[in-house]
Chain A
Amino acid sequence: MSNVVVLDNGGGFIKAGQGGERNPAVVIPNCLYRPLTSKKFLHPTTTFSSSPDDLTSAAIRRPIDRGYLINPDLQRDIWSHLFTSLLHVTPSSSSLLLTEPLFSLPSIQRSTDELVFEDFGFSSLVVADSPSLVHLYETSCRPCGLVSEAQCSLVVDCGFSFTQAAPVFQNITLNYGVKRIDLGGKALTNYLKELVSYRAINVMDETLLMDDVKEKLCFVSLDVERDLQFARKHGKDNLFRCTYVLPDGVTHTKGYVKDPEAAKRHLALTDGASSSEAIETKNETDQLGVMDKTAERKRVDLTKNEFDLTNERFLVPEMIFQPADLGMNEAGLAECIVRAVNACHPYLHPVLYQSIILTGGSTLFPRFVERLEKDLRPLVPDDYQVNITTQEDPILGVWRGGSLLASSPDYELMRVTKAEYEELGSARCRRRFFR
Chain B
Amino acid sequence: MDDDNSNALRRMSTRTRKVAPKMAAALGSSDNRSQAALARLEALENDNAGIEAVEMNDDDEASLDEDDQAYMQKRSKGTKRKTRQAKALENARKAPRSFLELLHEANLESLPPHVPSYLRAAVGPPSSTSRRHFCSVCGFSAKYTCVTCGMRFCSCRCQNIHNDTRCMKFVA
Q: Which A residues are closer than 8 A to B by beta carbons?
A: 31, 57-62, 65-66, 68, 70-71, 73-74, 102-103, 105-108, 164, 175-176, 178-183, 186-187, 190-191, 194-195, 198-199, 204-205, 207, 224-225, 228, 231-232, 310-312, 315, 322-332, 335-336, 339
Contacts and interface: CB of A to CB of B under 8 A. Distances in A.
Given A103-B121, A311-B139, A335-B123, A70 B98 contact: yes
Contacts of B47: 31, 60-62, 207
A199 B136 CA distance: 9
Contacts of B122: 179-180, 182, 330
A433 to B, nearest CB: 15
Given A59-B55, A179-B121, A205 B45 contact: no
B106 A106 contact: yes
Contacts of A57: 51
A310 B140 CA distance: 10
B141 interface: yes
A178 B96 contact: no
Contacts of B51: 57, 59, 205
A207 B44 contact: no
A325 B134 contact: yes
A327 B40 contact: yes
A326 B141 contact: no
B118 A228 contact: no
Given A103-B121, A324-B126, A228 B141 contact: yes
B99 A68 contact: yes
Interface of B: 1-3, 37, 40-41, 43-48, 50-52, 55, 96-99, 102-103, 105-106, 108, 116-118, 121-127, 131-134, 136-141, 165-166
Contacts of A74: 96
B48 A180 contact: no
A335 B129 CA distance: 13
A265 to B, nearest CB: 19
Given A311-B138, A330-B126, 8 more contacts: A57-B51, A68-B99, A195-B139, A205-B50, A310-B139, A311-B139, A325-B131, A331-B124
23 contacts: A31-B47, A58-B48, A60-B48, A61-B47, A62-B47, A68-B99, A105-B103, A105-B118, A106-B106, A107-B102, A178-B121, A182-B122, A186-B44, A186-B45, A187-B44, A190-B46, A191-B44, A195-B139, A311-B139, A328-B41, A330-B123, A330-B125, A339-B123
Given A178-B121, A330-B125, A190 B102 contact: no
Contact of A327 (B3, B99, B121): B3
Q: Which 5 A-B pairs have the closest CB atoms?
A: A71-B96, A103-B118, A187-B44, A331-B126, A59-B51
Interface of B is mostly: loop
Contact of B41 (A62, A181, A327, A339): A327
B92 to A, nearest CB: 15
Given A106-B106, A232-B140, A329-B125, A207 B116 contact: no
Contacts of A61: 47, 52
A339 B140 CA distance: 31
Contacts of A327: 1-3, 37, 40-41
A91 B102 CA distance: 29
Nearest to B40: A327
A175 B48 contact: no
Contacts of B44: 183, 186-187, 190-191, 194
B106 A180 contact: no
A80 to B, nearest CB: 17
B118 A325 contact: no
A359 B108 CA distance: 28
Contacts of B140: 228, 231-232, 311
Nearest to B54: A59
A180 B99 contact: no
A176 B132 contact: no
B131 A339 contact: no
A329 B1 CA distance: 11
Contacts of B133: 325
Q: Which among B46, B105, B126, B141 has the greatest number of chain A C-beta atoms within 10 A? A: B126
A190 B106 CA distance: 28
Given A182-B122, A228-B141, A187 B45 contact: yes
A333 to B, nearest CB: 9
A198 B131 contact: no
Given A59-B52, A61-B52, A190-B45, A180 B96 contact: no
A186 B166 CA distance: 24
Given A66-B45, A190-B44, A102 B99 contact: no
B111 to A, nearest CB: 11
Contacts of B136: 198
A190 B43 contact: yes
B132 A105 contact: no
A180 B141 contact: no
Contacts of A339: 123-124
B123 A181 contact: yes
A181 B43 CA distance: 16
Contacts of A187: 44-45
B149 to A, nearest CB: 13
